[in-house]
């Protein structure tokens, strides 16, 4: 799209004026994000006489949590395209709740697919439709997204295959995906266009290799550093139902305000347990802080025990209404929020649910 912007506006600066990439932190379109987007859009309109922008939400925007922000955008008659692969709620007549506030909604769930078609794949396919000339240059990106999102499907495999043909083997893809995460941690809300392009392999290939190698080495060092503090303080027990349940106080036994943050730390700790016991074993890992928990579980817990994080959260909301329980995510990976004063009750409630799981 950016090359088209250049052509159509006959100006080198157009791609900067007319294209803004704004990273978001939350897994949905937050109020913090929408006020920024609206402020800039309205100032560009009033001050520079620009048209209101086309808002494209990538890997975000399909769920009920997005509705308030989208509603605000639509009050100003801004056109909205959502390209997402998160579960958008019940589909009726090809429509979901958020569709009232979205002009174009691209989501595999709307047509019988699922989250294994990543937002990265959707983005590249769309880019190819808009401007076929760029597609070839982007064809390794869906492979990165597939690896980064742990997508498991024939399509995902094919994309990984295509990336391999472009010179990125599975190991490279994993390194690039991790490096993006690592760099995004420091970029926060900066768009970091030049750097992200290098990491994704969209610029100079030699620089790409050097940068990814440097980043990956460093992130590996930091993960090791975090695990060195976390692992000796992880409490693991094999429950009567056969589940291996590990608990970590991530506020006390991990470095704070640094990479990896609590969510990723939980993931890395969980990976250690999976490496130790095997991927087929039912393993649940909970990393908690004063007012939150992060949960990772192997597919085995979901398949054999019917474990679903979202169901447990719904139960806890009812059982301990004064704890302000909130959160969610996928069946086997997500987070839990609660008020600090009720943390014991909530965490014990969660453990009780895990204990009561049956094959």
Residues 87, 97: Cα–Cα separation, whole Å: 11
Q: Which of 21, 25, 220, 228 binds its own copies (CB under 8 A)?
A: 228
User: Which is it for the CA torsion 161, 269, 292, 260, positive or negative?
Assistant: negative
Q: Tokens representing 151?
A: 């997508």
CA 296 to chain centre: 14
Pairs from 106-113 (Cβ < 8 Å, separation ≥ 24): 106/81, 106/82, 107/62, 107/82, 107/83, 109/62, 109/85
Q: Residue from 64, 340, 348, 355 that binds its own copies (CB under 8 A)?
A: 340
Bridge partners (DSSP) listed for residue 244? 238, 283
Contact residue for its own copies among 302, 339, 345, 351 (CB under 8 A) = 339
d(Cα 100, Cα 86) in Å, to the nearest integer?
A: 17
Establish if 190 lies at the interface with its own copies (CB under 8 A).
yes
Tokens at 204, concatenated = 């100079």
Instruction: Pick out residues in 33-62 that bind its own copies (CB under 8 A).
Output: 35-36, 38-39, 41-43, 45-47, 49
Q: Is position 291 an interface residue for its own copies (rule: CB under 8 A)?
A: yes
When binding is defined by CB under 8 A, the residue of 11, 161, 233, 356 that contacts its own copies is: 233
Q: Which of 135, 324, 328, 331 binds its own copies (CB under 8 A)?
A: 324
- Residue closer to its own copies (CB basis): 161 or 191: 191
Instruction: Tell me: does residue 187 bind its own copies (CB under 8 A).
Output: yes
Residue 6 near its own copies by CB under 8 A: no
- Characterize the bridge pairing of strands 333-337 and 326-329: antiparallel
Nearer to its own copies, 87 or 253 (CB): 253
Closest by Cα among 227, 232, 235, 291 to 264: 227
Q: Which residues bind its own copies (CB under 8 A)?
A: 12-13, 16, 31-32, 35-36, 38-39, 41-43, 45-47, 49, 68, 71-72, 75-76, 183, 186-187, 190-195, 198, 207, 210-211, 214, 218, 225-226, 228-229, 231-233, 249, 251-256, 291, 321-324, 337, 339-342
């Amino acid at each position: 799209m950016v090359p088209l912007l250049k052509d159509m506006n006959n100006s080198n600066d157009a791609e900067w004026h007319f294209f803004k990439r704004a990273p978001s932190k939350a897994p949905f379109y937050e109020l913090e994000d929408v006020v920024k987007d609206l402020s800039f859009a309205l100032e560009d309109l009033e001050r520079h006489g620009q048209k209101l922008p086309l808002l494209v939400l990538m890997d975000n925007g399909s769920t009920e949590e997005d509705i308030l922000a989208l509603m605000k955008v639509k009050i100003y008659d801004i056109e909205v395209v959502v390209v997402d692969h998160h579960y958008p709620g019940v589909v009726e007549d090809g429509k979901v709740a958020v569709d009232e506030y979205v002009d174009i909604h691209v989501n595999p769930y709307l047509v019988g697919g699922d989250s294994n078609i990543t937002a990265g794949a959707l983005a590249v396919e769309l880019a190819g439709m808009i401007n076929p000339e760029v597609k070839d240059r982007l064809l390794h990106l869906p492979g990165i997204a597939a690896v980064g999102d742990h997508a498991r499907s024939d399509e995902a495999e094919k994309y990984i295959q295509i990336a391999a043909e472009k010179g990125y083997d599975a190991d490279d893809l994993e390194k690039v995906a991790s490096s993006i995460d690592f760099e995004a941690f420091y970029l926060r809300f900066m768009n970091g266009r030049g750097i992200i392009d290098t990491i994704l392999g969209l610029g100079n290939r030699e620089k790409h290799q050097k940068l990814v190698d440097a980043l990956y080495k460093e992130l590996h060092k930091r993960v090791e550093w975090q695990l060195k503090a976390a692992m000796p303080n992880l409490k693991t027990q094999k429950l009567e139902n056969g589940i291996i349940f590990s608990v970590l106080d991530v506020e006390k036994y991990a470095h704070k305000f640094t990479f990896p943050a609590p969510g990723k730390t939980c993931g890395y700790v969980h990976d250690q347990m999976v490496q130790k016991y095997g991927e087929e074993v039912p393993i649940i890992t909970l990393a908690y802080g004063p007012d939150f928990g992060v949960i990772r579980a192997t597919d085995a817990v979901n398949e054999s025990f019917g474990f679903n994080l979202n169901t447990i959260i719904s139960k806890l909301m009812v059982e301990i209404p004064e704890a302000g329980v909130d959160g969610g995510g996928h069946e086997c990976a997500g987070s839990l929020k609660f008020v600090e004063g009720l943390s014991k009750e909530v965490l014990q409630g969660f453990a009780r649910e895990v204990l009561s799981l049956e094959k």
